[in-house]
A = this chain, B = another copy of it.
Amino acid sequence: MSDRTEVKRDAHPFSRGQLEGLMTKRFFYIQAFEIYGGVGGLYDYGPTGAALQANIINQWRNHFIIEEEMLELDTTIMTLADVLKTSGHVDKFADWMCKDTKNGEIFRADHLVEGVLEARLEGDKQARAKEAGETIAIPAEPAAGDDKKTKKKKVKSSAVKLDDALVAEYTSTLAQIDNFDGKQLGELIRKYDIRSPESGNEVSEPIEFNLMFESSIGPTGQVKGYLRPETAQGHFVNFQRLLEFNNGRVPFASAQIGKSFRNEISPRAGLLRVREFTMAEIEHFVDPEDKNHERFDEVKDIQVPLLAKDVQESGKTDITTKTIGDAVAQGVIDNQTLGYFIGRIYLFLVKIGIDPTRLRFRQHMSNEMAHYASDCWDAEIHTSYGWIECVGCADRSAYDLTVHSKRTKKDLVVQKAHKEPKVYDKLVATIVKKNIGPKFKKDAKIVEEAILEMDQKKLGELESQLKNGSAPLTVCTGQTFELTTDVVTVEMKTIRETVREFTPNVIEPSFGIGRIFYSLLEHSFWTRAEDQDRGVLSLPPLVAPIKALIVPISSNEKLAPLVKQVSRKLRSAGVASRVDDSNASIGRRYARNDELGTPFACTLDFASLSKGTMTLRERDSTAQRIGPIDQVIDVIRQLCDASLDWEGACKILPEYSGQQDVEA
């Protein structure tokens, strides 16, 4: 087969079941504790999956950390409860759940409402079709275009016709399902008499369930901890150290790759909604008054598919493709730094093999933004589950640093020199140290703090009250003290300000590695036109778990030394390879490695011994080329580091059309 053969990847429709079967059979990943019956939302990665994941992470590290000189961190998973209380996660990182009042089965409230209403609409469709004498197929799995974040456990539908008005109500409710709080979900449950789907029992009022795994640190049980729900807090609590490391200057970015946890109520959709997952997060600290980016020019001409919030708010989902430069200039993307990262995210995803036609950046609407974010764009990838949020790119503003600073009373600020000193007048309170202690005794400190916290307006009032003799001061404890000029004076002073002090804003690109991993597998999987059972994973060489398969044509022991030699040479060329010297036919060995996503196969036959040649098979086209062993290895090396493509390789190595030389 020549390199000019078109590879027809869409001869058969995508089958999720077939891909999942392949994942298990080839041990990409599997539900954890399988021999113990498995635990929902926990997955183990086997050798192929772990290698693919490691390669994705490695590319990420090169693309972001190395290329942009980010400061890498490795902070703890076990997190002091106080930190997550401050960040808002203890109060707000929760989902609504309700319980079957008789058998205790637990549901995520929004999923329950959604599942039941969808089933009723489905039943209505069936009833109407029956009425009209049509037959309607009941889909076994959601259609590929289904725009939902996760697959929900299918609620059984029965053919019952609904009022037209009710159909409209259900449809409108479903469109807004992400926006309801617990109380509203409870109202919907009562209004539509939503019950536990299998038992038919009533369900309880929705209650909040915090999604963090809780534990306790040390033997006393007094220090509460949570497994982190994101790596971000580990960056924020170390901000001052990071800033110092960067010589006090912003912008800079820290980055961290590691596990985070989310105790889902009912995990679903395989790798897309899990309880333990690998994240890669960047926190880019920037001056709020200057969100331009030094390297913006490098991304400004990249065309990206955007779905802005105003489009969604008008009820549409039309994607507009424009350059990042235009999007920032038009204010669709708020600033250069956000735009820069959207561009870099796009380049990264496409580089590792995500289909750019199934990728979009969707801006959060104001009602769906996380509690800390001021603007957010998600990189969403299209899969058989619909559009999946795989990367969030949020502007967290100064939220986190501000709350941690307030809670710990530590300055988490940047000092930046003004080009010209700023000169202005300002009221300043001066505390008479030697008098305030004796006068207020144990309360002196609290009084002093209250004075120092006063703004210009309050200082103005204090100034005039002091002129009249004394001023009452109410402190945070509710106590009131009388201030007089022997303990404090207020004066107008001329300030010459040489530095500006500010809390930096944070732009946070946050990657869900498992979701990207799964989406990549869907985008890479297809089956051969001539045989639907022969699956292929067209992973780019850059991330493929194994780059080259070494296949001796037979188990003749004369070939063994050559196999070892080629294996060693590939290893020193930095190419991860595997030998398949099993007794299976050569076609079967190729097919097995198509399923593992191995892009190249080197076949050694008796001509290799006599003439020193080796054939090179390309996975997608199954085309074979031939050349001297060392030259073929060099071509593979270049194909793997992406300095050569297959077309280029075909110019170097001639076509091989003969049969493999099975016997000498």
Task: Spell out A's residues near B (CB within 8 Å).
Answer: 26-27, 30, 32-36, 39-40, 42-47, 49-51, 53-54, 66, 69, 71-80, 82-83, 97, 104, 106, 209, 213-220, 223, 225, 227, 234, 237-238, 240-242, 244-245, 247, 254, 258-259, 261, 263-266, 275-276, 278, 404, 408, 410, 412, 571, 576, 578, 582
Contacts and interface: CB of A to CB of B under 8 A. Distances in A.
A535 to B, nearest CB: 17
13 contacts: A32-B234, A33-B83, A34-B237, A34-B241, A36-B83, A40-B218, A46-B242, A47-B72, A50-B72, A78-B261, A214-B216, A218-B263, A258-B259
Given A44-B234, A78-B227, 5 more contacts: A27-B244, A34-B241, A35-B410, A45-B74, A76-B276
A410 B214 CA distance: 32
Contact of A49 (B74, B77, B576): B74
Which residue, of A69, A78, A79, A104, has the highest number of chain B Cβ atoms within 10 A? A78
A27 B76 contact: no
Contacts of A97: 219
B238 A46 contact: yes
A39 B237 contact: no
Contact of A46 (B36, B71, B216, B275): B71
A215 to B, nearest CB: 5
Number of copies: 2
Nearest to A223: B39
Contacts of A218: 40, 106, 263-266
A408 B33 CA distance: 10
B36 A80 contact: yes
A661 to B, nearest CB: 26
Nearest to A407: B36
B80 A27 contact: no
Contact of A259 (B45, B71, B259): B259
Contacts of A576: 66
A80 B241 contact: no
Contact of A78 (B217, B219, B276): B276
Contact of A43 (B71, B76, B214, B242): B76
Nearest to A108: B219
Nearest to A97: B219
B220 A106 contact: yes
Contacts of A275: 78, 217
Contacts of A241: 27, 30, 34, 46
A74 B237 contact: no
A76 B44 contact: yes
A33 B410 CA distance: 12
